[in-house]
A and B are shown apart, each in its own frame.
Chain A
Amino acid sequence: MEPILTADHLSVAFTRYGRGLSRIALSALTDLSLTVDAGRVTALVGGSGAGKSLLAHAVFHLLPRNAHTAGTICYDGAPLTPARARALRGREISLIPQGITYLDPMMKVGPQVRRGRRDGMSRARCREILARYGLGSEVEELYPFELSGGMARRVLIACAVMDSPRLIVADEPTPGLDSQTAGRVLAHFQELAEQGTGVLLITHDLELARTVAHKIVVLREGRTVDEVPAALFQTGEGLTHPYSRALWQAMPENGLIVDREVSVL
């Protein structure tokens, strides 16, 4: 199994203004290393503010201008330079962003999913994908503001999988979806993985991660602390890292237990 995306000792820092004219650097990601294998679902799990979304934005070169990155990101064996990322994104690699505001408000859903193409094949593919997420053909004629939150999220996902990319990065794809729709979306991710796509699922929801992913990478305060097969999180046995253990214990079904040693940072 070959890795399709590797991040090696990735760090991201922001400069921002302090009081007056001074500038301070805030480091957001300090040391993130992970690999996403083709044909596998990898989940990146971490708390809010741990820097999960930054990884996605760093891969697609979408970070704001005051961000500085160090470390390497490789896609398909070669470094992912800004130019290469621009060329590949939307075709071979696609992002499902976290906010539903990423849809173009002035464009109807259909053309947006098809990226303006009008040929019969694109139309058929578009219809097929929307139908898969429970959206009828009438949705193609709607503008984003006419969609509910859950529908907009499904349209975003449809945009991302339209061209059968080789790598999908899904940043918190399920909030706002009811469990049935979420299940359908996640099943589709698994299916895409079976066809050889690498899927990186970024989420704070360990429950969701352990049901879908093959591998779970645990991120804490900007650094990866553990990388384990998802199966270990089913029973909690074999989790060696204290933070991973604490996460498992804090799941409501396992007792909502606060591990004093981990919580006091």
Chain B
Amino acid sequence: MKNRRRNTLFFIILAGTALCSVTLAGGLLYEGAAAADFAQKNLPPCPAHPFGTDWMGRDMLRRTLAGLSLSVRVGGLTAAVSAAAALVLGGAAAAFGGWVDALISWITDLVMGIPHILLIILISIACGRGLWGVTIGVALSHWTSLARLIRGEVLQLKGAPYLQLARRLGVSRGRLVKNHLLLHLMPQFLTGLILQFPHAILHEASVTFLGFGLSPEQPAIGIILAESMGYLTTGRWWLALFPGLSLVGAVMLFALAGERLRLLLSPATAQD
């Protein structure tokens, strides 16, 4: 039988390396990505420009890498913020109960009730668009389902006989949280965190694509795709195809890594 742990570890290292190198490369190419060269404009893919060039002669490979790099960074930041918010809010709701629980659950329902895209656009506009607008928008709209999950988990743990027993045996509150609660929440938290990434990246790209996110001079995938729409009818397919595929690839890497991690950490499939 296949060793799932080894496969997962291998895959996560692979995905991590790929994403890190994209992020690094994109960061390094950031300056070059905006450099226009009108002598080289509208070139289809060729050895010098594997992804082609656009109407300003900018190299599409550089732009795509820079865009992906920005997406991964935004995704990472927002996923981390929203997962942390989910942990704190979900944990607090379950631990304190009463009106705290009612209030947090009400906010969760409220945020969940509004379509994601709409909420992100509203928050993004309210925060003055741009990089921070999108980041805050995505971070504030993605914590809900994980918060619910964690709330349920903590509620269940609170009633578990082994925690009741540990308390009556004189184990301190701090140790209960450290030894038991956090250990039990770790799988949900980690899986939730990694699965947040693709969501965040896609939402960032789509809000930018719709024109409510990053500004046009920034090398974002959403901007590239929005611009390329104007040229598709003139036959410049490379402008949309390669950046789009790279976005799908990055998202798939995260989603697959998260899914594998989930299988590994879930008790039902952990020993397969």
Instruction: Choose the segment among B1-9, B212-220, B237-245 that binds chain A (4+ C-beta atoms closer than 8 Å).
Output: B1-9
Instruction: Verify A15–B1 contact, CB threshold 8 A.
Output: yes
**Residue among A14, A17, A65 with max Cβ neighbours from chain B (10 Å):** A17
Question: What is the bound-complex CA distance between A17 and B1, given in angstroms?
Answer: 13
- Contact A66-B9, Cβ < 8 Å, known A16-B271, A17-B271: no
Instruction: Verify A66–B5 contact, CB threshold 8 A.
Output: no
Please pick, from A14, A21, A64, A65, the residue contacting B5 in the complex, using a CB distance under 8 A. Answer: A21
Q: Look across to chain A and name the residue whose beta carbon is closest to the beta carbon of B269.
A: A65
Question: What is the bound-complex CA distance between A16 and B4, given in angstroms?
Answer: 11
- Write the nearest CB–CB distance from A99 to chain B, whole angstroms: 15
Chain A 19-33 per-residue mask, 1 if CB under 8 angstroms from chain B, else 0: 001010000000000
Query: Number of contacts between A and B (CB, 8 Å)?
Result: 20
- Contact A21-B6, Cβ < 8 Å, known A15-B1, A66-B1: yes
Chain B 5-18 per-residue mask, 1 if CB under 8 angstroms from chain A, else 0: 11001000000000
Q: Which residues of B contact A65 (CB under 8 A)?
A: 1, 271-272
- Write the nearest CB–CB distance from B239 to chain A, whole angstroms: 44
Q: State the majority secondary structure of interface residues on B.
A: loop
Q: Look across to chain A and name the residue whose beta carbon is closest to the beta carbon of B264.
A: A17
Q: Look across to chain B and name the residue whose beta carbon is closest to the beta carbon of A23.
A: B3
The A-contacting residues of B in range 160-177, CB under 8 angstroms, are none
Q: Which residues of A contact B3 (CB under 8 A)?
A: 21, 23
**Residue among B6, B9, B271, B272 with max Cβ neighbours from chain A (10 Å):** B271
Q: Which residues of B contact A23 (CB under 8 A)?
A: 3
Question: What is the bound-complex CA distance between A23 and B5, given in angstroms?
Answer: 9
- Write the nearest CB–CB distance from A18 to chain B, whole angstroms: 10
For chain A, the bracket of interface size reads under 10
Instruction: Verify B6–A14 contact, CB threshold 8 A.
Output: no
Q: Look across to chain B and name the residue whose beta carbon is closest to the beta carbon of A64.
A: B271
Instruction: Verify A66–B6 contact, CB threshold 8 A.
Output: no
Q: Look across to chain B and name the residue whose beta carbon is closest to the beta carbon of A16.
A: B271
- Write the nearest CB–CB distance from A157 to chain B, whole angstroms: 26
Chain A 53-88 per-residue mask, 1 if CB under 8 angstroms from chain B, else 0: 000000000001110000000000000000000000
Question: What is the bound-complex CA distance between A212 and B158, given in angstroms?
Answer: 42
- Contact A21-B9, Cβ < 8 Å, known A15-B1, A66-B1: yes
Q: Which residues of B contact A15 (CB under 8 A)?
A: 1, 271
Question: What is the bound-complex CA distance between A15 and B271, given in angstroms?
Answer: 7
Question: What is the bound-complex CA distance between A14 and B1, given in angstroms?
Answer: 12
The B-contacting residues of A in range 8-56, CB under 8 angstroms, are 14-17, 21, 23
Instruction: Verify A14–B271 contact, CB threshold 8 A.
Output: yes
Q: Look across to chain A and name the residue whose beta carbon is closest to the beta carbon of B272.
A: A65
Q: Which residues of A contact B272 (CB under 8 A)?
A: 64-66
Q: Which residues of A contact B5 (CB under 8 A)?
A: 17, 21
Question: What is the bound-complex CA distance between A64 and B270, given in angstroms?
Answer: 11
Q: Look across to chain B and name the residue whose beta carbon is closest to the beta carbon of A67.
A: B271
Q: Look across to chain B and name the residue whose beta carbon is closest to the beta carbon of A66.
A: B271
Question: What is the bound-complex CA distance between A21 and B3, given in angstroms?
Answer: 8
Question: What is the bound-complex CA distance between A66 and B263, given in angstroms?
Answer: 14
Question: What is the bound-complex CA distance between A15 and B270, given in angstroms?
Answer: 11
- Write the nearest CB–CB distance from A35 to chain B, whole angstroms: 32
Q: Which residues of B contact A17 (CB under 8 A)?
A: 5, 270-271
- Write the nearest CB–CB distance from A65 to chain B, whole angstroms: 5
Question: What is the bound-complex CA distance between A16 and B3, given in angstroms?
Answer: 10
Return 20 A-B CB contacts under 8 Å, by A number: A14-B271, A15-B1, A15-B271, A16-B271, A17-B5, A17-B270, A17-B271, A21-B3, A21-B5, A21-B6, A21-B9, A23-B3, A64-B271, A64-B272, A65-B1, A65-B271, A65-B272, A66-B1, A66-B271, A66-B272
Extra 4 A-B pairs, beta carbons < 8 Å, given A15-B1, A16-B271: A14-B271, A21-B5, A21-B9, A64-B272
